[in-house]
Amino acid sequence: MPQSRNNAGGFAFAVDDWTRLDRFLVLGVEGGSYYATERRLTAENAEAVRRCLHADGPRTVARIVAISEEGRALKNDPAILALAMAAGAASPATRALALAALPRVCRTGTHLFRFADAIGTFRGWGRALRRAVGDWYTAKAPRELAHQLGKYQSRGGWSHQDLLRLCHVRATGSSNAALRWAVGKGLEPGPEDASSPLAILAGYEAAKRAAAPGEVIRLVRKYGLPRECVPTRWLTDPGVWEALLVTMPLAALVRNLATMTRLGLLTPGSTAAARVVSALDDPEGLARSRLHPIALLAALRTYASGRGARGQGVWTPVPEIVDALDGAFYAAFRNAEPTRRRWLLALDVSGSMAWGAIAGIPGLSARDAAAAMALVTAATEADHHVIGFTGRGFSASSAGGSRYRAGAGHGGVEPLSIGPDRRLDDAIRIVSDLPMGPTDCSLPMLYALERKLAADVFVVYTDSETWHGAIHPVEALRRYRDRTGIAAKLIVVGMVSSGFTIADPDDAGMMDVVGFDAAVPQLIGLFAGPEGGT
């Protein structure tokens, strides 16, 4: 396949629109890359989505639904945007499929509000759209409907009241009472029955009238109120948070670790800390939560630092919670069987990898995420070697390994002392401290040749913005194969939603992977095995 000039000015293989669609749905584009702005990447990905819709609308909608439902993306926003585009497609059949998929992609009130915010760009609020949004409400059981109305009351300038009046939604029984409450007509008086489908709404109204923390704690325990139903003035009380913690979903627990620690609820050896550790150590609960591995990685990095990424508050991390977050990150990935192959895990630590943020998470760069993903494979495969590479020799050995400068005018490679015996936040710190340089993705293969390393599988974690070096990565791999007689495979794990890859799509021994989601280590293992790629 011919190569194209990439965003860095070098040459790489342009991925097809279906690969681009997957990259966008899984990775999004928040933060852009060093060579391409967020606005430019957003526009390019939007055009790729449009081309997919034009080529095969049903296939596109099915892909949007699959990636959203499988929890492969850290954020659901790209899937919501793509679904809104599909709902405004030229094909009536595609529009109908997209609207039918609305409750599968927009599973919460927040998702629905984001869809409502996006849809106006692609179509008007005709009868079919109003009916689909109305069905989102009326198809829910009364208790679930009340939960959505109470917990997600408004986001981004939209509220349930706006949508219900726009779509003229009507229901019966308890559902009708919940909808009347959402449009500001109040809640009909009734007994304080925690088993009622409308219990969360009754508890919310009572919490608004509460005059003391003890009363709020009683209401939280009686009605199982989520944090969003507790008035802000009571969210500085440790006792209120202790009550919330009992039934707090795992995703909410992870988001609020810093707050609960700062308020003094989570301390070493405390009952509350033990509850948190138990929740993080529960594999079944972790699977049910659909908590994305990168969300756990971001939580670990922020919580262990003891300081908010935006400078909001400081706290003293509880060691057992840091360890539990580390374990939960590994547990979030689907089990991959060891292949007993020889692995060289190569982390691109060039300047472009430190630019921007993964899924818009402050302080979490592609460099950091690459280190985390490499550790997942290293924890599975006993025979592995981990390196960092850039386009020039490192000026210092920050990783504890011997400095290496490739010969024949090639750039620098450094063995990294990171592996499954090192805690994840320590490994990320090692990679983050490495000096930057330009990108030369041929270096892992050249390094293995010069060091006479036997590698069955090269895994390169990169943004594919390669421009530096005298030889293309594909040619370097072929040279390695020819000189060693090893039918080595190359797996390129994409860290940014760009339109390029260094893997040759026409070579069955090369694979391009969208990084981060829970299925990636298993997919890598299957491809790397003796039968993979043939």
When the pLDDT of each residue in the chain is averaged and rounded to a whole number, the result is 84
Could you write out the three-class secondary structure of 240-309? Answer: HHHHHHHHCCHHHHHHCHHHHHHCCCCCCCCHHHHHHHHHHCCHHHHHHHCCCHHHHHHHHHHHHHCECC
At 403 the pLDDT is: 41
At 396 the pLDDT is: 33
Could you write out the three-class secondary structure of 500-519? Answer: EECCCCCCCCEEEEECCCCC
What is the rounded CA–CA span in Å between residue 50 and residue 351?
Answer: 32
Residue 488: name the closest of 438, 434, 443, 449 by CA. 449
Yes or no: say if 501 and 13 are a contact pair by the CB < 8 Å rule.
yes
Residue 103, both tokens: 């409750």
Q: Measure Cα distances from 157 to 116, 153, 377, 515 in Å.
A: 10, 11, 43, 33
Residue 26, classed as helix, strand or coil, is: helix
Which are the contacts of 355, defined by CB distance < 8 A and separation ≥ 6?
A: 31, 32, 33, 34, 365, 366
| Residues of the chain under the 50 pLDDT cut | 1-12, 30-38, 40-41, 393-411, 467-468, 534
Which are the contacts of 513, defined by CB distance < 8 A and separation ≥ 6?
A: 491, 492, 493, 494, 520, 523, 524
Yes or no: say if 219 and 207 are a contact pair by the CB < 8 Å rule.
yes
At 24 the pLDDT is: 84
DSSP-assigned states of every residue in 347-362? EE-SGGGGSS-GGG-T
What is the rounded CA–CA span in Å between residue 416 and residue 389?
Answer: 10
Q: Measure Cα distances from 235 to 227, 231, 241, 409 in Å.
A: 8, 7, 7, 60
Query: Can you say whether the dihedral through the CA atoms of 443, 446, 450, 453 is positive or negative?
Result: positive
Query: Can you say whether the dihedral through the CA atoms of 138, 144, 146, 149 is positive or negative?
Result: negative
At 503 the pLDDT is: 65
Q: Round the CA-based radius of gyration of the chain to a whole number and report it.
A: 25
Residue 87, classed as helix, strand or coil, is: helix
For 11-63, what is each residue's pLDDT tens digit? 445 567 888 888 788 877 544 333 334 454 466 778 889 999 999 999 999 99
Q: Measure Cα distances from 463 to 36, 303, 389 in Å.
A: 11, 27, 13
Yes or no: say if 157 and 122 are a contact pair by the CB < 8 Å rule.
no
What is the rounded CA–CA span in Å between residue 30 and residue 39?
Answer: 9
